[in-house]
């Protein structure tokens, strides 16, 4: 059985998908890009500003399911430029810490929706 998770504290999906789905004791989030949920617009700035917004969006979706960032088991990070990895890594550690950080894959991609520099999806326990 699956349950749909959507919150006004994260961007409205830009396609035929939901922000997250729970199945059993797991939460699967859709990839979050740096859209401000209040304005519906991409945040201005570079990788730092975009990564912060993406992590805030991811946090909002996870919290809407009754979980926290401490419950995240695995993330997948998509970057359009691996040169941005050090900055992403610094910010990621601020949100997840290092001792309890989830497993993670980071992949460079040719492009992301709406010209985003970063997208992150996650799996968490609920």
CATH number at 15 reads 3.30.1330.40
Q: 101 lies in which domain range?
A: 2-125
Q: Of the candidates 96, 27, 39, 37, which has an alpha carbon nearest to the alpha carbon of residue 64?
A: 27
Number of folded domains that form the chain: 1
- The DSSP 8-state label assigned to residue 25 in this structure reads T
pLDDT at position 26, please?
98
Kind and range of the H or E element at 57?
helix 47-64
Contact 34, 43 (CB under 8 A): yes
Count of positions (residues) in the chain: 126
pLDDT tens for 41-88 read: 999 999 999 999 999 999 999 999 999 999 999 999 999 999 999 999
Neighbours of 90 (CB within 10 A): 11
What's the predicted TM-score (pTM) here?
A: 0.97
């Amino acid at each position: 059985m699956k349950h749909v998770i959507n919150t006004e504290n994260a961007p409205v999906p830009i396609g035929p998908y939901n922000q997250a789905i729970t199945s059993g004791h797991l939460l699967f989030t859709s990839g979050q890009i740096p859209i401000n949920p209040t304005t519906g617009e991409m945040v201005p700035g570079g990788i730092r500003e975009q990564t912060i917004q993406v992590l805030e969006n991811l946090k909002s979706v996870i919290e809407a399911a009754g979980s926290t960032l401490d419950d995240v088991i695995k993330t997948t990070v998509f970057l359009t430029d691996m040169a941005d990895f050090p900055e992403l890594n610094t910010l990621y550690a601020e949100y997840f810490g290092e001792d309890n950080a989830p497993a993670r894959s980071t992949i460079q991609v040719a492009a992301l929706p709406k010209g985003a520099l970063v997208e992150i999806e996650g799996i968490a326990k609920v």
